[in-house]
Every structure is written in structure tokens, then in C-alpha cells.
């Protein structure tokens, strides 16, 4: 029996146990152009590399409807979310996100909102015995994004809302308590935001024109119909939740500054090009989204590898960001690799590949880079101690982070 036709054992448990290392490890042990496996009972082909990105994001090859397990829709993205649409339905829904999240005005407004909240919060850190950066950044981002989006948020609800938005990301790839926490958190916020959308529509609540709440409430889908309130809430959460998820990259940025303090100087000095390069390298180097997946639209062939219709196709994002065919010394943290050189569209893929307007690539990439740049500079300017703590970043946990959440003590105000 040829290698391609031998029945494969199901790898779902190995995937859950090995996390980020699962695909790259299989890749190292595979001679062919793609990793073949079976995941949740489905035949699976995993690809990587810029050409694979173009193949994967071609809608004639891979579609998304029916690809995501319910466990992921019920926690991370929400039922009926833009992530699960194809064709015209996807393009019309996606346009709402790109018009909200791209363009210098939008990106700057959201960044300024978060930076303002950070500065207020950081002013109180010198009075605190310790600051757990991951948690603190989640609260700052929650306040900043809600303010920008037009979502009312009472001061005493910030802590719980931040915890819930983090939980929705933290619980999607496990079946333990983190998963159930994520489902409950999602339910609470979908209900609350659906009521807000209804109130905006019937005029009992007002929100700034052009804000995310306003855009979602007024949006009409490809069929000309407004989104049902619960679906509008799902999509509003698809703006709030991933913005708050920048707290993972904030903790990673602090980790990088601690391990390689030579990057502090240029960031402190306000070197904008360096800050941008640092943000890209944090997104490349540290593990966040392991892969994305879809279903083969028909029988396909990738470099001679047969991909049957309806089988699962994965794009190995983490593996590609550490592929030594694409990156010189991929396990070295080096912002210099992006200095004077914009990252190739289909080479650096922490937030997906292809064109964000037509495909499923993340529409929040400019926002992420801008927030990360701004917060990294603020972190570099802050004086603090890093007490003994568990800074390991376990690759088996998805999503992972420094175990301690990155604790700062003896915070001194910026000079």
C-alpha cells in the first residue's frame, strides 16, 4: 500500500497533548510536501509556505463552512461568525470589519484610546506591591476597546469583562474547565450585547455614529437583511475579544525585553521603525494561533499530494513562522530581520495569510501591530523589577503564555 493510501490513526489526542509542537514535529518526520493525518476523524492535509498560503486562501480550493468544530464556534468565534462564511456572504460581512478596522484614522483612534487607558493605569502601578502584566493589559485593552467601540462599560464591570473576554480565547482548545468557563463567558456577553444592539435599533440607547456598535447594528448582510441581535453580538465580540487578546502579545513583549534587554534602548528612544520591527518579531517568534483550517472544496492536488473533497486542510501558521527555509535562525529573537524590510504578505502569517479584504486573513492586523508597538514602547520606558517567577511558556498549552502572567514589582514611573 502506498504511503498516501495507508489508513491513518486519529491524531486528535496527540494534537491536544502536543499543542504547538504537533504539526512542526510531524513535518520534520515527513518526507513529502505535506503532513497527512486524521483529526476529529477527518482525513487531514497540513501545508506551509507562501505558495501553500496562496493555495489555501483560494476559495476554489478551500472553504470554511462546516470546517470549525462546534467547540471552537461555541467559545472563540461564536455561531454564524464571519470566520465560518464563504463567497459573497463572507465578502459582505468582511467589508464591515475592514471598514471599521483598517485605515490610519481607525487604527490611530483605537490605539490612542488604549494608550490613554494604559497611561492612567500605569500611573497607579508604583503604589502596588506587584502587577501581573497579562491581567493588567487585559483590563487596559478591555477599557480602551469598549470606549472606542461605543460599548458602555461601568468601572466596576471592567475586571469581570476582561476576565470573560480572555476566557473566550483561553478555553477554545481544551475540554477541561477552561472550556466551560469560555462557553459561559460567551453566553453572558452575547446576551448583554444583543440587548445593546436592540436598544440602539429602537432608539432607547445612543452610541457614537460610526462606532463599532453603530456599524454592527446598521450592517446588512448579502441578503439585504440586518443581523439578528444575537449574531450582531457575535460580531461585536469578534472586535472586542481579539483586541483584548493583544494582552498575550503584551506579556510576550515583556518576556522578550526581559530575556534580551538590548531591545529596550531603541524602543525607549522612540525609534518608530524599530518599534514596528519589534512588534512583527513578537508576532512571529511567540506562539499564539497554531494553524487555521478549512475543507477541500473538491478533489485537489498539492505538489502531487492528493487532497480529497471535504477533507480537512490546515495551514501551519506557527510552523511557517519558524520554518528555516523562510527565516534565518528562526528560533533567534531578532527584530532586525524586519528593519528596512516589510514582512512578505504570505511569509509572516501569525494572523493568517492572503488578502484580508477578499480572504479570511485577520482584519485586525494593523490594529494589533499598532497596539503592540505602542505598548512595547511604554513597557520599555517603564522601570520595574522582575522577581523570581515561572516564566516558562509551555508549548503544550494552546493558547500559551508565560506561566506567571509576567509579574512586575517595584514599578517606577518613566523617567
Q: Pattern 159-178, binding to ligand HEM, x per CB under 6 A?
A: --------------------
Measured CA angle at 233 (ends 232, 238), to 5 deg: 95
Nearer to ligand HEM, 34 or 372 (CB): 372
Nearer to ligand HEM, 185 or 246 (CB): 246
Residue 229 in the binding site for ligand HEM (CB under 6 A): no
Binding span for ligand HEM by CB under 6 A among 6-14, 129-137, 263-271, 355-363: 355-363
Nearer to ligand HEM, 52 or 289 (CB): 289
Nearer to ligand HEM, 196 or 240 (CB): 240
Residue 364 in the binding site for ligand HEM (CB under 6 A): yes
In 3-state terms, what secondary structure has residue 410?
strand
Give the span between the Cα atoms of 48 and 325, in whole angstroms: 11
Residue 101 in the binding site for ligand HEM (CB under 6 A): yes
Using left for φ > 0, alpha for ψ between -120 and 50, and beta otherwise, residue 14 falls in: alpha
Give the span between the Cα atoms of 376 and 389, in whole angstroms: 21
Residue 351 in the binding site for ligand HEM (CB under 6 A): yes
Spell out the residues 6+ positions from residue 73 whose beta carbon is closer than 8 angstroms to its own: 79, 81, 84
Residue 144 in the binding site for ligand HEM (CB under 6 A): no
Give the span between the Cα atoms of 153 and 155, in whole angstroms: 6
Q: At closest approach, how far in Å is the CB of 46 from ligand HEM?
A: 14
Residue for cell digits 480602551?
144
Nearer to ligand HEM, 101 or 295 (CB): 101
Q: At closest approach, how far in Å is the CB of 335 from ligand HEM?
A: 18
Cα–Cα distances in Å, from 176 out to 183, 383, 393? 12, 38, 19
Cell reading at 401: 503564555
Nearer to ligand HEM, 378 or 401 (CB): 401
Residue 150 in the binding site for ligand HEM (CB under 6 A): no
In 3-state terms, what secondary structure has residue 34?
coil
Nearer to ligand HEM, 274 or 318 (CB): 318
Binding span for ligand HEM by CB under 6 A among 4-12, 65-73, 213-221, 362-370: 362-370
Residue 165 near residue 142 (C-beta atoms within 8 A): yes
Residue 243 in the binding site for ligand HEM (CB under 6 A): yes
Residue 245 in the binding site for ligand HEM (CB under 6 A): yes
Residue 405 in the binding site for ligand HEM (CB under 6 A): no
- Using DSSP bridges, classify how beta strands 305-307 and 300-302 pair: parallel, antiparallel or unpaired: antiparallel
Cα–Cα distances in Å, from 392 out to 142, 264, 302? 26, 21, 37
Cell reading at 278: 519589534
Spell out the residues 6+ positions from residue 45 whose beta carbon is closer than 8 angstroms to its own: 34, 35, 36, 296, 302, 305, 307, 311, 312, 313, 314
Residue 48 in the binding site for ligand HEM (CB under 6 A): no
Cα–Cα distances in Å, from 378 out to 81, 126, 182, 255, 257? 34, 15, 30, 14, 12
Residue 230 near residue 195 (C-beta atoms within 8 A): no
Size of the site for ligand HEM (CB under 6 A): 25
Residue 361 in the binding site for ligand HEM (CB under 6 A): yes
Residue 44 in the binding site for ligand HEM (CB under 6 A): no
Cell reading at 56: 489555501
Q: Pattern 280-319, binding to ligand HEM, x per CB under 6 A?
A: --------xx--x---------------------------
Given candidates 36, 48, 73, 83, which one binds ligand HEM under the rule CB under 6 A?
A: 83
Cβ-proximal residue to ligand HEM, closest one: 364
Binding span for ligand HEM by CB under 6 A among 12-20, 93-101, 130-138, 327-335: 93-101
- Nearest in space to 201 (alpha carbons), one of 215, 187, 218, 184: 218
Residue 169 near residue 241 (C-beta atoms within 8 A): yes
Residue 97 in the binding site for ligand HEM (CB under 6 A): yes
Q: What is the CA radius of gyration of the chain?
A: 21
Given candidates 113, 161, 238, 311, which one binds ligand HEM under the rule CB under 6 A?
A: 238
Binding site for ligand HEM (CB under 6 A): 82-83, 94, 97, 101, 238-239, 242-243, 245-246, 249, 288-289, 292, 350-352, 360-364, 367-368
Amino acid at each position: 500500500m502506498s504511503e498516501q493510501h495507508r489508513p491513518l490513526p486519529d491524531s486528535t489526542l496527540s494534537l491536544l497533548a502536543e499543542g504547538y509542537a504537533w504539526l512542526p514535529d510531524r513535518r520534520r518526520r515527513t518526507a513529502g510536501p505535506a503532513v497527512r493525518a486524521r483529526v476529529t476523524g477527518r482525513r487531514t492535509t497540513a501545508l506551509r509556505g507562501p505558495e501553500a498560503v496562496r493555495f489555501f486562501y483560494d476559495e476554489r480550493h478551500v472553504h470554511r463552512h462546516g470546517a470549525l468544530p462546534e467547540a471552537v464556534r461555541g467559545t472563540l468565534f461564536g455561531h454564524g461568525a464571519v470566520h465560518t462564511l464563504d463567497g459573497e456572504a463572507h465578502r459582505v460581512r468582511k467589508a464591515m470589519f475592514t471598514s471599521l478596522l483598517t485605515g490610519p484614522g481607525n487604527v490611530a483612534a483605537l490605539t490612542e484610546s488604549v494608550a490613554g487607558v494604559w497611561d492612567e493605569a500605569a500611573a497607579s502601578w508604583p503604589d502596588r506591591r506587584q502587577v501581573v502584566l497579562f491581567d493588567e493589559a487585559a483590563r487596559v485593552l478591555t477599557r480602551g476597546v469598549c470606549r472606542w467601540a461605543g460599548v458602555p462599560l461601568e468601572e466596576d464591570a471592567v475586571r469581570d469583562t476582561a476576565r470573560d473576554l480572555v476566557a473566550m480565547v483561553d478555553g477554545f482548545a481544551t475540554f477541561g474547565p477552561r472550556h466551560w468557563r469560555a462557553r459561559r463567558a460567551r453566553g453572558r456577553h452575547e446576551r448583554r450585547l444583543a440587548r445593546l444592539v436592540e436598544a440602539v435599533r429602537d432608539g432607547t440607547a445612543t452610541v457614537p455614529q460610526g462606532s463599532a456598535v453603530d456599524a454592527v447594528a446598521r450592517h446588512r448582510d448579502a441578503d439585504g437583511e440586518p443581523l439578528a441581535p444575537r449574531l450582531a453580538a457575535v460580531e461585536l465580540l469578534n472586535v472586542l475579544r481579539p483586541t483584548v487578546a493583544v494582552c498575550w502579545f503584551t506579556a510576550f513583549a515583556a518576556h522578550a525585553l526581559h530575556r534580551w534587554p538590548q531591545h529596550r534602548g531603541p524602543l525607549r528612544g522612540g525609534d518608530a521603525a524599530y518599534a514596528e520591527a519589534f512588534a512583527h518579531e513578537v508576532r512571529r517568534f511567540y506562539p499564539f494561533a497554531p494553524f487555521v483550517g478549512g475543507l477541500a472544496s473538491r478533489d485537489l492536488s498539492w505538489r502531487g499530494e492528493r487532497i480529497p473533497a471535504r477533507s480537512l486542510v490546515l495551514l501551519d501558521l506557527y510552523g511557517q513562522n519558524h520554518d528555516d527555509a523562510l527565516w534565518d535562525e528562526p528560533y533567534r529573537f531578532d527584530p532586525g530581520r524586519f528593519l528596512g524590510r516589510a514582512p512578505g504578505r504570505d511569509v509572516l502569517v501569525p494572523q493568517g495569510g492572503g488578502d484580508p479584504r477578499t480572504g479570511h486573513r485577520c482584519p485586525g492586523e494593523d490594529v494589533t501591530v499598532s497596539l503592540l508597538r505602542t505598548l512595547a514602547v511604554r513597557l520599555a520606558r517603564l522601570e520595574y523589577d522582575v522577581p523570581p517567577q515561572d516564566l516558562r511558556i509551555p508549548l503544550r498549552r494552546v493558547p500559551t503564555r508565560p506561566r506567571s502572567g509576567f509579574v512586575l514589582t517595584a514599578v517606577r514611573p518613566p523617567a
